[in-house]
């Protein structure tokens, strides 16, 4: 996710590669990033804490170890920040960790202005969604800069932190649920006689076209369902089977389970 957010900014010239200090887990990843993108990359986590803005993208289970390696704010900034921060300004921490609350981030990284961001994987193709919640000490200038950063890879929404679990469950876990639906639709088409690659292509295009129609025409999903379902036709026969199998309830419960797990990770 860190690369999905950072690399478009580098390719657009928003951030210069020489302004980035990255820390990754393996030497192989460090070499690959350095060679492909001209970044200064290290396996030493201390390296990244010399910057006035830190993008924290690790597993929630790794948070305590990462916090233990963080440099104290008194040592910053070693490298100029994107807003020309003075040494007296609190360094900015952008966290994309699932479920980790601002209160905990501020306790683990004292002296830093913390922001919680919940981006999703379609950021890879600049069609993402990102939810933002602000910690203490994030002024309007920095808020504008953070919004602009995530807007490069999709739509940005500012939410009360209490709503981020539901946002994550729908937008971050949702792509996996949709991918499962796409796979199942393609499997059905193969069972009905289409070749595998063609079935996959058609399933993907059907989902993409349906999403575009719902979004651009601002249709309620029920409206589109009724538009396609003619009396006694093929679609209503298929919908009857989906209702019988409990697809609607299964998707609702999947989102609720993902939101509950996000709260547990806190």
Residue 87's alpha-carbon distances to 20, 74, 134, 174, 208, in angstroms, are 18, 8, 22, 41, 47
Q: Do 21 and 100 sit in the same domain of this protein?
A: yes
CATH at 254: 1.10.3730.10
DSSP secondary structure of 17-43: GGG-EEE-S-HHHHHHHHHHH--EEES
Q: Which of 160, 193, 210 is the last residue of a domain?
A: 160
Domain limits at 87? 2-160
pLDDT in tens, 156-200: 999 999 999 999 999 999 999 999 999 999 999 999 999 999 999
What distance in Å separates the CA atoms of residue 156 and residue 119, rounded to the nearest whole number?
Answer: 9
Which residue did the predictor score with more confidence, 78 or 256?
Answer: 256
Number of domains in the chain: 2
Which residues contact residue 111 at a Cβ distance below 8 angstroms, ignoring those fewer than 6 apart?
72, 73, 74, 90, 91
- Give mean pLDDT, residues 111-122: 93
Q: Are residues 152 and 208 in the same domain?
A: no
Closest CA to 95 of 12, 32, 2, 173: 2
Any residues with CB less than 8 A from the CB of 148 and at least 6 apart, and which? none
Q: At what angle do helices 247-265 and 234-245 cross, to 10 degrees?
A: 50
50-75 confidence digits (pLDDT tens): 788 899 998 888 888 888 878 766 55
């Amino acid at each position: 996710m860190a690369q999905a957010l950072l690399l478009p900014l580098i390719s657009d010239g928003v951030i210069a590669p020489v302004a980035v200090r990255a820390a990754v887990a393996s030497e192989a990843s460090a070499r690959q990033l350095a060679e492909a993108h001209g970044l200064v990359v290290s396996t030493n986590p201390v390296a990244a804490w010399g910057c006035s803005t830190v993008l924290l993208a690790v597993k929630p289970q790794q948070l305590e170890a990462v916090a233990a390696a963080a440099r104290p704010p008194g040592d910053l900034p070693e490298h100029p920040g994107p807003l020309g921060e003075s040494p007296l300004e609190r360094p900015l921490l952008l966290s994309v960790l699932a479920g980790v609350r601002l209160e905990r981030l501020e306790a683990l990284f004292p002296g830093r202005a913390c922001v919680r961001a919940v981006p999703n994987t379609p950021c890879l193709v600049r069609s993402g969604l990102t939810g933002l919640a602000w910690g203490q000490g994030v002024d309007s200038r920095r808020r504008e800069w953070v919004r602009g950063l995530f807007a490069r890879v999709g739509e940005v929404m500012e939410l009360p932190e209490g709503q981020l679990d539901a946002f994550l469950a729908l937008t971050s876990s949702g792509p996996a649920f949709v991918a499962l639906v796409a796979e199942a639709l393609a499997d059905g088409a193969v069972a009905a006689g289409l070749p595998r690659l063609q079935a996959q292509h058609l399933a993907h295009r059907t989902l993409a076209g349906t999403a575009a129609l719902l979004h651009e025409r601002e249709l309620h999903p029920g409206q589109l369902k009724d538009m396609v379902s003619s009396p006694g036709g093929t679609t209503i026969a298929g919908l009857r089977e989906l209702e019988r199998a409990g697809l609607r309830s299964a998707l609702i419960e999947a989102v609720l389970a993902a939101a509950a797990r996000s709260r547990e990770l806190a």
